[in-house]
């Protein structure tokens, strides 16, 4: 498998990358870890003329914490995130980062690339909805910060402007009483999830103060299930609330029939994964250690 | 000291683990060209024209091949089948029409692989789309015919009838009818794809470094296809990264690399398949549908007769087919004593990838059918699964099956006992009862299977009486080298089975030397290895066919060594004994210190032969032995005869809980007991069992080739096809028993294929879990989405009926 010919440019800074992208125009594509881009090129599904490799731009692969603010550089790999102290204390990040594909993909693929690819099967865009994350971007017209909500506009379509690059992801570290879980149903390591659900709950005195429910691989974009959140917020968790939230998550989803299963099957999975994620999130919110959130065949 | 029976470390592993293996794609030669094969995106289309001008004018392109070159230079590959198969035109490139997605339509040789692919994209093929037929039953209606010259898609049909079937049904206490069962399409996905480097020299010889696993056969078909005498073709292998039968048929495409080399004045051309090409177009396993099955049973649940209609879907071409229409009959009654059968067997072509002899070839499909029959009858008649097996197992050996096959030895009840012990049967039965009370879907399934080895090629004549094939053979050449070490060449061309190791063990025992002193030449070379038309690694051949050749060669060598020693030591041959002396292995005169060691013997023959004074002219210490199993040609009219020499058996038990939320069949415990007769190398045998188990679990739970109705393959990448990974393999409780074969010199039985035991076992466990839900497991694939479909549409009413008198 060989991609069609292209020109290769390595950018040493964000400014340089943006300059290259603007100069080349439409046929140029950013490459970070290449784990989504290269397979597409090898299958010759994308016809580009130039690759601007941002993979070695310094300082974009740092995880920083400032007070309760967290920022993750766009080039941080899934493996680095999985091994970070941050993921050690925010388990939903570990669920996501360590569950993506296999070690080769995790060692190269980046969080920025995952968000920028606009692929509904990618885990990070769904997950980041549960943390109300912001996407930091820089383009020819300077920097801007976008909400993860609505960032992925359609299948493989994001809010990024031409020549604009994601530089980092920002969110607030979940506080005390908050717990989250990201649960995917997968066939095997190198396969994308059949569906996935992320849940972050903040629970005070047995009552859900705030809830986030987001679905991956469940439609053309990652989906935030706001009605499901509403079913949980202000409630103490019981089978009734959890069941209603699961139903609402299913209602918010829009899965299709494909080789991973029928839409009906995926709806059943979404209901199940929502309940499972709420259960794990609740336990984690109370300080319990829970490992292994994903389910494999 | 005996080396046979010990887990000698694999000799091959040192080079393989260190990355010092030589696989076809490793070959790097200055000036070598790379081949890209342009493949049809359509499953069925007429080729109206091909424009290669743009591709040919791209810098770095050496040549382009199209159907026009092929028509000029090739003859269609020989067909094994009779009418109408003999009308099927199978060529390395499609000429007028494509009949499956991925069929080659053009090929480009260029300076780099990337360039070749770029050029391939510039070729314009004008296709006229035709309707495709992917469903075997529809294909048999012949509304869409793939091969117009053949005039029909029905490539083979016959009835296999034994005993008195109608009487069995008249006398039956119960008749169980199963409307339909289906064995799905998958393949074994070797880690190394197909590859070769070809050179068509100016002298008109063709040289291949390739990874074909049955070269003895391949060159016989390749040569006439390329219009060459056989000896003009030299095919070599070194290391092969798995074959599982899939690589038997890669010579169809190897021809393209040779033809490209010819067109480029003899420059070497490498062809290396990508994974998607492999999944799309290298070769799939046979897909089979079982219709209108009726089972006669006596009042105790003993099966007395079976009648059924089987439709095998062999994809777009009859490559190796229609052999599969007969091969299954090696295991006609499976492990059961059923005497009366009527199997109406039809094979059809469809617009899908051609099938090839994939691990467990054709028997696995039939064994699955028999296992489903036994298991469904047990559930329908309320007989516990283990009792049902015990009522029906063959118990006396050797056992002649209704169609004349002879099961050499075995003890299926003991295997069942052992597997139950390994898994903790009674404990699980209790747990199952509790689980059921809680409404959980927990099932325990048994799968018993056979791995028939060393087949009688005479069965091909049941398929086509005019075929000049019968019997079986393998060849070994053994030489006592100047330094007293032993050099062995084989016709086998292994693909990971450890032939170098097992052969060394046998030779070490026979010649009383350390296995380290035995060099088994790696790979195969049709120019330098001696071989027969059966030579290769396929169909559980080696332990018996291969090692019997090695053993026979050792005996011949020992005869020569005795003659030589007798002359040199001036002693009677009867007074000589093999042993180890101060200077290593030797032949000595009993009771004396007169001896001659191995290196001295070899030296006398090869360097110092004046000592022989012109005597012993026939002694060369370089001997060849061909092993031929004692087969007779079967009765082709009655379809009766012994089709295989040995019958290894496997018995697996699985405990599976189906997660009600995800419909995921979760394997809670798994036991695999195998009986391959006397074991040559326990570690290698265990490795084969684990590998076959993984393949079977993968096929049952993950892997399937799904086509849409236009013949578009929907699972053409590993992400979609999802081959099994270590994550999906449960801990396997492994055990074995040994029922030595009376028919092999060493008591061993061929065992590499494994008979698809997990497919039978997992189907049975899921049946056990879901029978109470009104579900009959009549398909072999059990991915979570499949199980979801099944539990949402109970099929028992529709699929099964029981008449009891
Ligand atoms: C076999 C396999 C299995 C996989 N399984 C999973 C899985 O289970 N879950 C999952 O989430 N992912 C999976 N992935 C995808 C993987 O996570 C990718 O790493 C990730 O989606 C993309 O990151 P990347 O850095 O490799 O991006 P690239 O491949 O380099 O880029 C992807 C796209 O984003 C653009 N891009 C990249 N970085 C930026 C940036 N900073 N700013 C703007 N645009 C940018 C590129 O132009 C391109 O269009 C899998 C990949 C493979 C090959």
Residue A190's pLDDT band (cuts 50, 70, 90)? confident
ipTM attached to this prediction: 0.95
Tell me the CA–centroid distance for residue A39 and ligand 1, in Å: 10
Smallest Cα distance from A265 to chain B, Å: 6
For residues B177 and B307, membership in a common domain is answered with: yes
What was the pLDDT predicted at B528?
87
Residue B146 maps to a domain: no
For residue B465, is it within any domain?
Answer: no
Give the residues surrounding ligand 1 with Cβ less than 6 Å away: A 29-37, 39, 74, 100-101, 105, 108-110, 112-114, 116-117, 122-123, 160, 165-166, 190, 192-193; B 719
**How far apart are alpha carbons A223 and A236 in whole angstroms?**
24
Residue B537 lies in a domain: yes
Who among B275, B784, B792 is closest to A297 (CB)?
Answer: B784
How many angstroms separate the CA of residue B671 from the nearest CA in chain A? Answer: 19
CA dihedral B139, B141, B143, B144 (to 10 degrees): 20
Does A86 share its domain with A12? no
Q: What is the CATH number of the domain that holds A105?
A: 3.30.465.10
> Using the 8-state DSSP alphabet, how is residue B340 labeled?
E
Closest ligand 1 atom, residue A167 Cα: 41
A-chain CB neighbours of B792 within 8 Å are 264
CB-CB neighbors (< 8 A) of B276 in chain A:
1, 43
Nearest residue (by CA) to ligand 1, atom 8, is: A192
- The CATH number covering residue B578 comes to 3.30.365.10
Contacts of residue B665, defined as CB under 8 A and 6 or more positions apart, other chains included, come to B656, B657, B658, B701, B762, B765, B766, B782, B784, B787
Q: Is B8 a member of any domain?
A: no
- Cβ contact A297–B664 (<8 Å): yes
Same domain, B663 and B612: no
The model's confidence at residue A43, banded by pLDDT at 50, 70 and 90, is confident
β B206-210/B195-200 pair status = antiparallel
Per-residue model confidence as pLDDT tens digits over A4-36: 999 999 999 999 999 999 999 999 999 999 999
Q: Say yes or no: B530 and B601 in one domain.
A: yes
Percent of chain B with pLDDT over 70: 100
Indicate whether B173 and B204 sit together in one domain. Answer: no
**Using a CB-CB distance cutoff of 8 angstroms, which residues of chain B are in contact with residue A101?**
none
User: What's the CA-to-centroid distance between B39 and ligand 1, angstroms?
Assistant: 29
Same domain, A137 and A183: no
Q: How confident is the model at residue B535 (pLDDT cuts 50, 70, 90)?
A: very high
- Which one of A107, A117, A161 would you pick to mutate in the ligand 1 pocket, going by the greatest count of ligand atoms within 8 A of its CB? A117
**For residue A44, is it within any domain?**
yes
Residues B572 and B539 in one domain: yes
pLDDT of amino acid B750: 95
Q: Which residue of B has its CA nearest to A271?
A: B661
CA torsion through residues B347, B352, B356, B359, sign: negative
Range of the domain at A255: 178-296
- The helix (run of H) or strand (run of E) holding residue B569 is helix B547-569
Please determine, for residue B552, whether its predicted confidence score (pLDDT) is greater than 70: yes
Checking if the pLDDT of A191 tops 90, the result is no
- Whether residue A2 is contained in a domain is answered as no
Out of B117, B701, B784, name the one closest to residue A2 (CB).
Answer: B117
Closest-CA distance of chain B to residue A187, Å: 7
Q: In this complex, do A296 and B276 lie within 8 Å of one another by their Cβ atoms?
A: no
Interatomic CA distance for residues A163 and A153, integer angstroms: 17
Strand order in B576-581's β-sheet?
Answer: B576-581, B584-589, B595-597
**Nearest chain A residue to B274, by CA:** A1
Residue A282 has pLDDT above 90, yes or no: yes
| pLDDT above 90 (res B790) | yes
Q: CB of B315 within 8 A of CB of B349?
A: yes
B218 token code pair: 């391949």
Is A261 part of a structural domain of the chain? yes
- Residue whose C-alpha is closest to residue A127's, from A184, A186, A70, A62: A184
Q: What range does the domain containing B573 cover?
A: 474-627
Are A77 and A101 in contact, with CB atoms under 8 Å apart? no
Query: Which of B55, B717, B785 best tests the A interface by mutation, with the highest count of A CBs <10 A?
Result: B785
- Closest partner residue to A188 (CB to CB) among B113, B275, B728 is B728
Q: Does A187 touch chain B (CB under 8 A)?
A: yes
Quick one: closest CA in A to B788, which residue?
A265
* Statement to judge: residues B232 and B290 lie in one domain: no
Question: What CATH number is given to the structural domain containing A44?
Answer: 3.30.43.10
* Identity of the residue in B274, B715, B725 whose CB atom sits nearest the CB atom of A188: B725
Between CA A288 and CA A280 the distance in angstroms is: 9
Q: In this predicted structure, what is the pLDDT of residue B458?
A: 96
Is pLDDT above 90 for B331?
Answer: yes
Q: Atom of ligand 1 at shortest distance to CA of A137? A: 42
Same-domain pairing of B263 and B325: no
Whether residue B7 lies inside any domain: the answer is: no
Task: Among B276, B719, B723, B727, name the best residue to mutate to test ligand 1's pocket (greatest count of ligand atoms within 8 A of Cβ).
Answer: B719
- Residue A85: exposure state from Cβ atoms within 10 A (0-12, 13-18, ≥19): exposed
**Which token pair is A114?**
């995952």
Closest-CA residue, ligand 1 atom 19, reads: A109
Among B247, B272, B297, give the residue marking a domain's end: B272
Phi, psi angles (nearest 5°) of residue A277: -65, -40
State the CB neighbour count (10 A cutoff) for residue B744.
Answer: 25
Spatial separation of the C-alpha atoms in residues B556 and B608, rounded to whole Å: 22
- Same structural domain, A69 and A46: no
Q: Does the model's pTM come out above 0.95?
A: yes
* pLDDT on residue A209: 96
A277 with A237, same domain? yes
Residues in B touching A255 (Cβ below 8 Å): none
Number of structural domains chain A divides into: 3
Please compute the mean of the pLDDT values over residues B176-196 and round it to a whole number. Answer: 97
Contact yes or no for A215/A249 (Cβ under 8 A): yes
Residue A44: pLDDT band by 50, 70, 90 thresholds? Answer: confident
How distant is the Cα of A161 from the closest Cα of chain B, in angstroms? 31
* CATH code at position B112: 3.90.1170.50
Per cent of chain B over pLDDT 90 is: 97
| Total domains present in chain B | 3
In a domain, B151, yes or no: no
DSSP E strand stretches across B314-367: 340-348
Considering the domain architecture, whether residues A113 and A93 belong to the same structural domain is answered as: yes
- My answer on whether B576 and B668 are in the same domain is no
- What CA–CA distance (Å, rounded) separates B647 from A8? 59
User: What is the separation of C-alpha B522 from the centre of its chain, rounded to a whole number of angstroms?
Assistant: 21
The Cα of B749 is separated from the nearest Cα of chain A by a number of Å equal to 34
Whether A297 shows a pLDDT value over 90: the answer reads no
Nearest-CA neighbor of B268 among B82, B386, B109, B118? B109
| Residue B598, pLDDT score | 96
Confidence band, pLDDT 50/70/90 cuts, at residue B530 = confident
Q: Of A138, A172, A206, which residue is a domain's last?
A: A172
Q: Residues A211, A286: one domain?
A: yes
**Same-domain status, B250 and B287:** no
Q: Examine residue A130 and state whether it is found in any structural domain, yes or no.
A: yes
Residues of A in contact with B766 (CB under 8 A): none
CATH number for the domain that contains residue A187? 3.30.390.50
- Ligand 1 atom 5 nearest Cα: A101
Ligand 1 pocket mutation, candidates A32, A158, A186, criterion most atoms within 8 A of CB = A32
Do B343 and B153 touch, CB atoms closer than 8 A?
A: no
In angstroms, the separation between the Cα of residue A271 and the nearest Cα of chain B is 9
Q: Rounded to a whole number, what is the distance in angstroms from the first to the last CA of chain B?
A: 62
Q: Do residues A266 and A187 share a domain?
A: yes
Q: Which residue has the tokens 């049809």?
A: B40
B59: Cβ contacts below 8 Å, ≥ 6 apart = none
In a shared domain, residues B167 and B234: no
Residues of A in contact with B34 (CB under 8 A): none
| Residues paired with residue A69 on neighbouring β-strands, in sequence order | A66, A172
pLDDT band at B513 (very low <50, low <70, confident <90, very high): very high
Q: Would you call the peptide bond into B129 cis, given omega within 30 degrees of 0 as the criterion?
A: no
Nearest CA in chain B to A101: B719
Looking at the structure, tell me whether residues A253 and A202 fall in a common domain.
yes
CA of B662 to the centre of ligand 1 (A): 27
The reply to whether B319 and B358 lie within a common domain is yes
Ligand 1 nearest atom to the CA of residue A108, by list position: 26
Average pLDDT score, chain B: 96
Identify whether A112 is part of a domain: yes
A100–chain B nearest CA distance, Å = 13
Write the pLDDT tens digit of every residue in B646-704. 999 999 999 999 999 999 999 999 999 999 999 999 999 999 999 999 999 999 999 99
Q: Is A4 on the interface with B (CB under 8 A)?
A: yes
**Residues 6 or more apart in contact with residue B705 via CB below 8 angstroms:** B184, B185, B186, B187, B279, B284, B352, B353, B713, B715, B721
Q: End of a domain among A139, A172, A205?
A: A172
- Cα(first)–Cα(last) distance of chain A, in Å? 29
Residue B284 is classified by DSSP as: B
Contact list in B for residue A297 (CB cut-off 8 A) is: 664, 701-702, 728, 783-784
- Cβ pair A187:B783 closer than 8 A: yes
Q: Is residue A90 part of a domain?
A: yes
CA nearest ligand 1 atom 17, residue: A109
Both B594 and B707 in one domain: the answer is: no
Atom of ligand 1 nearest to the CA of A99: 8
The partner residue sitting opposite A268, judged by closest CB among B701, B723, B788, is B788
Examine residue A1 and state whether it is found in any structural domain, yes or no.
no
Nearest CA to ligand 1 atom 1: A190
d(CA B463, CA B682): 37
Q: Is residue B468 part of a domain?
A: no
* Residue B138 domain flag: no
Which chain B residues are Cβ-neighbours of A1 within 8 angstroms? 274-276
Pick the last residue of a domain from B627, B658, B686.
Answer: B627
Q: How confident is the model over B385-442, as pLDDT tens digits?
A: 999 999 999 999 999 999 999 999 999 999 999 999 999 999 999 999 999 999 999 9
| Span from the CA of B719 to the centroid of ligand 1 (angstroms) | 15
Are A194 and A260 members of one domain? yes
**Residues A184 and A276 occupy one common structural domain:** yes
Q: Are residues A130 and A81 in the same domain?
A: yes
With respect to residue A58, please indicate whether it lies within any of the assigned structural domains: no
Q: Which of A2, A259, A268 sits opposite B715 (nearest CB)?
A: A259
Q: Closest partner residue to A297 among B275, B728, B788, by Cβ?
A: B728
Is B329:B160 a contact under the CB 8 Å cutoff?
yes
Statement: residue B1 has pLDDT above 70: no
The alpha carbon of residue B246 is apart from the nearest alpha carbon of chain A, in Å, by: 21
For residue B40, give Cα distances in angstroms to B120, B276, B708. 12, 13, 16
Number of other CB atoms surrounding residue B577 within 10 Å: 14
- DSSP per-residue string spanning chain A: --PPP-EEEE-SSHHHHHHHHHHH-TTEEEESS-TTHHHHHHTT----SEEEE-TT-TTSS-EEEETTEEEEETT-BHHHHHHSHHHHHSHHHHHHHHHSS-HHHHHH-BHHHHHHTT-TT-HHHHHHHTTT-EEEEEETTEEEEEESTTTEEETTEESPPTT-EEEEEEEEPP-TTEEEEEEEEESSTTSPPSEEEEEEEEEETTEEEEEEEEEESSSSS-EE-HHHHHHHTTS---HHHHHHHHHHHHHH-----BTTB-HHHHHHHHHHHHHHHHHHHHHHHTT-------EE-
Do A80 and A152 lie in a common domain? yes
Q: Which of A129, A148, A172 is the last residue of a domain?
A: A172
Sign of CA dihedral B232, B238, B243, B244: positive
Instruction: Note the pLDDT tens digit of each residue in B719-754.
Output: 899 999 988 899 999 999 999 999 999 999 999 999
Final residue of a structural domain among B627, B660, B683: B627
> Which residue in B718, B784, B792 is closest to A190 by CB distance?
B718
- Tell me, what's the pLDDT at B583? 87
């Amino acid at each position: 498998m060989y991609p069609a010919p292209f020109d290769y440019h390595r950018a040493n800074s964000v400014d340089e990358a943006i300059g290259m992208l603007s100069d080349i125009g439409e046929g140029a594509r950013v490459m970070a870890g290449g784990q989504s881009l290269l397979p597409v090129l090898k299958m010759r599904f994308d016809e580009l003329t130039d690759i601007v490799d941002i993979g070695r731009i310094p300082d974009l692969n740092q995880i920083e914490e400032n007070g309760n603010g967290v920022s993750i550089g766009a080039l941080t790999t899934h493996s680095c995130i999985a091994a970070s102290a941050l993921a050690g204390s925010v388990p939903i990040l570990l669920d996501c980062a360590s569950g993506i594909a296999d070690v080769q993909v995790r060692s190269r693929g980046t969080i920025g690339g995952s968000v920028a690819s606009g692929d509904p099967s990618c885990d990070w865009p769904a997950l980041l909805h549960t943390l109300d994350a912001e996407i930091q971007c820089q383009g020819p017209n300077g920097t801007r910060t976008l909400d993860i909500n609505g960032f992925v506009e359609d299948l493989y379509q994001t809010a990024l402007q031409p020549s604009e690059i994601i530089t980092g992801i920002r969110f607030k570290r979940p506080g005390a009483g908050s717990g989250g879980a990201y649960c995917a149903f997968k066939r095997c390591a190198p396969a994308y999830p059949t569906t996935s659900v992320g849940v972050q709950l903040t629970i005070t005195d047995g009552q859900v103060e705030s809830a986030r429910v987001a679905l991956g691989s469940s439609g053309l974009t990652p989906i935030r299930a706001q009605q499901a959140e509403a079913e949980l917020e202000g409630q103490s968790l019981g089978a009734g609330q959890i069941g209603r939230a699961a139903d609402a998550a299913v209602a918010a989803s829009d899965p299709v029939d494909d080789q991973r299963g029928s839409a009906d099957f995926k709806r059943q999975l979404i209901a199940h994964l929502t309940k499972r994620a709420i259960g794990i999130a609740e336990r984690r919110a109370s300080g319990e250690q829970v490992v292994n959130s994903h389910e494999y065949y | 000291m005996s080396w046979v029976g010990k887990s000698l470390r694999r000799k091959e592993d040192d080079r393989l683990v260190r990355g010092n293996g030589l696989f076809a794609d490793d070959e790097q030669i200055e000036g070598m060209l790379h081949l890209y094969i342009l493949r049809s995106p359509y499953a069925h289309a007429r080729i109206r024209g091909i424009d290669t001008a743009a591709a040919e004018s791209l810098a770095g392109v050496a040549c382009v091949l199209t159907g026009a070159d092929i028509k000029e230079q090739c003859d269609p590959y020989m067909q094994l089948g009779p009418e109408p198969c003999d009308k099927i035109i199978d060529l390395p490139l499609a000429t007028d029409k494509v009949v499956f997605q991925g069929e080659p339509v053009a090929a480009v040789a260029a300076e780099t692989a990337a360039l070749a692919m770029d050029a391939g994209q510039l070729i314009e093929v004008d296709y006229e789309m035709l309707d495709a037929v992917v469903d075997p039953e529809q294909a048999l209606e012949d509304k869409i015919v793939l091969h117009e010259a053949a005039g029909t898609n029905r490539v083979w049909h016959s009835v296999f009838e034994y005993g008195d079937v109608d009487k069995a049904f008249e006398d039956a206490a119960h008749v169980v009818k199963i409307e339909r069962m289906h064995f799905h399409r998958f393949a074994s996905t070797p880690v190394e794809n197909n590859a070769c480097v070809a050179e068509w020299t100016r002298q008109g010889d063709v040289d291949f470094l390739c990874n074909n696993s049955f070269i003895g056969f391949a060159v016989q078909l390749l040569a006439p296809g390329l219009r060459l005498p056989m000896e003009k073709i030299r095919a070599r292998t070194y290391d092969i990264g798995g074959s599982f039968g899939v690589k038997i048929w890669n010579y169809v495409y190897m021809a393209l690399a040779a033809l490209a080399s010819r067109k480029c004045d003899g420059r070497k051309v490498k062809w290396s398949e990508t994974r998607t090409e492999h999944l799309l177009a290298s070769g799939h396993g046979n897909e089979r549908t079982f219709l209108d099955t009726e089972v006669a049973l006596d009042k105790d649940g003993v099966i007395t007769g079976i009648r059924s209609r089987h439709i095998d879907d062999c994809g777009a071409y009859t490559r190796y087919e229609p052999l599969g229409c007969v091969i299954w009959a090696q295991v006609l009654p499976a492990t059961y004593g059923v005497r009366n059968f009527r199997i109406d067997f039809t094979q059809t072509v469809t617009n899908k990838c051609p099938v090839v002899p994939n691990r467990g070839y054709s028997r696995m499909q039939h064994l699955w059918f028999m296992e489903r029959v036994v298991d469904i009858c047990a559930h329908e008649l309320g007989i516990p699964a283990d009792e049902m097996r015990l009522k029906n197992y063959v118990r006396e050996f050797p056992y002649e099956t209704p169609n004349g096959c002879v099961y050499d030895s075995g003890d299926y009840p003991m295997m069942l006992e052992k597997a139950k012990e390994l898994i903790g049967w009674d404990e699980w039965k209790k747990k199952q009862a509790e689980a059921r009370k809680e409404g959980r879907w927990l099932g325990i399934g048994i799968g018993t299977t056979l791995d028939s080895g060393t087949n009688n090629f005479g069965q091909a004549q049941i398929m086509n009486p005019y075929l000049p094939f019968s019997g079986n053979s393998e060849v070994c050449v053994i030489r006592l080298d100047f330094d007293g070490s032993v050099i062995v060449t084989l016709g086998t061309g292994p693909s990971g089975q450890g032939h170098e190791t097992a052969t060394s063990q046998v030779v070490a025992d026979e010649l009383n030397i350390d296995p380290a002193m035995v060099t088994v030449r790696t790979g195969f070379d049709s120019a330098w290895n001696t071989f027969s038309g059966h030579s290769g690694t396929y169909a559980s051949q080696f332990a018996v066919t291969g090692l019997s050749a090695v053993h026979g060669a050792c005996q011949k060598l020992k005869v020569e060594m005795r003659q030589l020693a007798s002359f040199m030591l001036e002693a009677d041959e009867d007074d000589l004994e093999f042993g180890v002396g101060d200077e290593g292995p030797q032949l000595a005169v009993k009771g004396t210190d007169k001896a001659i060691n191995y290196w001295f013997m070899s030296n006398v023959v090869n360097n110092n032969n004046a000592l022989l004074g012109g005597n012993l002219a026939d002694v060369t210490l370089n001997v060849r032995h061909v092993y031929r199993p004692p087969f007779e040609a079967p009765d082709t009219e009655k379809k009766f005869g012994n089709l295989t020499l040995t019958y290894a058996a496997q018995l697996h038990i699985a405990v599976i809980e189906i997660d009600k939320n995800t419909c995921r069949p979760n394997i809670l415990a798994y036991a695999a007991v195998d009986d391959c007769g006397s074991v040559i190398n326990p570690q290698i045998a265990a490795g084969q069992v684990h590998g076959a188990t993984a393949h079977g679990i993968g096929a049952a739970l993950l892997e399937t080739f799904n086509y849409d109705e236009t013949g578009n393959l929907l699972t053409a990448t590993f992400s979609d096809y999802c081959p099994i990974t270590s994550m999906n393999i449960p801990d396997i409780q492994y055990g074995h028993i040994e029922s030595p074969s009376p028919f092999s010199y060493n008591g061993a039985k061929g065992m590499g294929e494994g008979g698809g035991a997990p497919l039978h076992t997992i189907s049975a466990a899921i049946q056990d879990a879901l029978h109470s839900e009104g579900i009959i497991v009549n398909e072999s694939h059990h991915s979570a989405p499949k199980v979801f479909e099944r539990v949402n549409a109970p099929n028992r009413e529709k699929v099964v009926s029981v008449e009891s008198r």
